[in-house]
Amino acid sequence: MEAEDVRREVRAWLEANWNPDLSLVEWRNKLADSGWAAPTWPERWYGRALPVALGDVVSEEIERIGAVGPPTGSGMTLVAPTLLEHGSDELKQRLLRPILTGEHTWCQLFSEPGSGSDLAGLTTRAELDTATDEYVVNGQKLWSTSAHHAMYGMLLARTNWDVPKHRGITYFALEMHQPGVVVRPLRQMNGYASFNEVFLNDARVHRLNVVGEAGNGWTVALATLAHERRMFDAIQARGRSPKGKGRAIDENRAEIADLMEPYKWYPQRAGRVDLIVERAVQTGRNTDPVVRQEVVKLLSLARAAQWTAQRAKAARVLGKPPGPEGSLGKLYASQVAKGCARVHTLISGTDALLHGADGPLEGTIGEILLSVPAVSIAGGTDEIQRNIVSERVLGLPKDPAIEVDKPFRDVPKNLSGPRR
């Protein structure tokens, strides 16, 4: 199918069906039935099996007509692709549609106090209770963005301690609203509380909610992580509702306000390179030769990062496998963010330290300084990205793999969770 055929067909369908007076769920159900909610998904699962480039044409048309599109967030961008790749038909049947309609929201329960970079060293345990066919889960998760309002969690837990660490992990779809799950928000140094610690005390998850095979969770987790970068792009691109009036639009606005709450400070964590020149001019620091040199260095780096991201996107649209641009892009993002913090401080001087209304740009510069460190940690730290680039792109010798072949039970652990 050509782009223009898709454009014509989706446009005709939207013109005949878009009705802002429907409830959000009613409208999303119609969209799901039409195959236009997720046009790149298989036909059997609400899609039209279109390539990514044609999927973008559908999004453009939904935006052009001012209709509400599918939800943005980890359900659509992380969970659904993982389920499509690894989930049983029963799970797809049960979980995909409420993701498409926005009725189910999700969070990611991967990191733990003792395992972030070394995710495969996780110690949350799940044991099968054969009487009920349910796994009983005990342990602690950390950094879980949006867990405080998620209905399901993508949970990684250890189900076998007698095999090497990568082979004893299982991936579950865990219901969050149950007595065994306690979610506590964590306050960050920039004042927001976007992520949580999640305590699992005899939480229960049915065997049918295993994604993939028991013990094969590491492979399934890698599928989720491969989509993580796209989630931030999707949130940036679609984290806003259409203008106009109507029940579906109002409900979408409320949904997006909830979704975006934990991400409010994300523009600041990226460093706000867009403010650099404006601030240099405003403060008169644009005439200082040292400041000018630093501004130009930073803007050149930011432009190179932008072009690398465009190359990565073009490759994705052409259906090419992800290349080194992904890891380079992540490193670029953290270099740009750190550079911004430095140059904003150079421009604002000690005023940059002022918080709230007293600070430059009503505290935005101060918020940048306190938010930038997150870019070098979230989604894989800078050091881990450098390991990936050196090993997979440059072919340098591997980071020493310590005791990866030993049964996990016998491996020394960075334990703050239950000792086994």
Ligand X SMILES: Cc1cc2nc3c(=O)[nH]c(=O)nc-3n(C[C@H](O)[C@H](O)[C@H](O)COP(=O)(O)OP(=O)(O)OC[C@H]3O[C@@H](n4cnc5c(N)ncnc54)[C@H](O)[C@@H]3O)c2cc1C
Instruction: Give me the least distance between CB of 32 and ligand X, in Å please.
Output: 26
CB 77 within 8 A of CB 234: yes
Output the smallest distance, CB 387 to ligand X, in A. 6
Whole-angstrom Cα distance, residue 22 to residue 5?
A: 28
CB of 6 to ligand X, least distance (A): 34
Q: Which is nearer to ligand X, 32 or 337 (CB)?
A: 337
For residues 125 and 120, what is the distance between their CA atoms, to the nearest angstrom?
Answer: 13
Binding stretches for ligand X (CB under 6 A): 108, 110-111, 116-117, 143-145, 195, 374, 377-378, 380-381, 383-384, 387, 399
d(CA 149, CA 162): 35
Looking at the chain, the number of H-run helices and the number of E-run strands are 15, 8
What's the closest the beta carbon of residue 342 comes to ligand X, in angstroms?
Answer: 19
Give the Cα separation of 76 and 127 in Å (integer). Answer: 29
Query: Alpha-carbon distance 259 to 312, whole Å?
Result: 26
What is the DSSP secondary-structure string of 153-206? EEEEEE--SSS-GGGSEEEEEEESSSTTEEEEE---TTS----EEEEEEEEEEE
Give min distance, CB of 166 to ligand X, in A.
15
Residue number with CB closer to ligand X (252 or 334)? 334
* 2, burial (CB in 10 Å: exposed 0-12, middle 13-18, buried 19+): exposed
Considering the complex, what minimum distance in angstroms separates the CB of residue 145 from ligand X?
A: 3
Residue least distant from ligand X (Cβ): 116
Taking the least distance from each CB to ligand X, the nearer of 324 and 373 is 373
Cβ nearer to ligand X, comparing 133 with 391: 391
Nearer to ligand X, 275 or 378 (CB): 378
Q: Are residues 277 and 251 in contact, defined by beta-carbon separation less than 8 angstroms?
A: no
Reference 153, options 140, 164, 166; nearest CA is: 140
CA distances from 78 to 26, 73, 222, 226 (A): 24, 8, 11, 9
Cβ proximity to ligand X: between 39 and 116 the closer is: 116
DSSP run (H or E) holding 278: helix 276-283
Least distance to ligand X, CB of residue 20, Å: 32
Q: Which is nearer to ligand X, 212 or 262 (CB)?
A: 262
Closest to ligand X by CB, 149 vs 303, is 149
Counting every residue, how long is the chain?
420
CB of 52 to ligand X, least distance (A): 25
334 token code pair: 């953290």
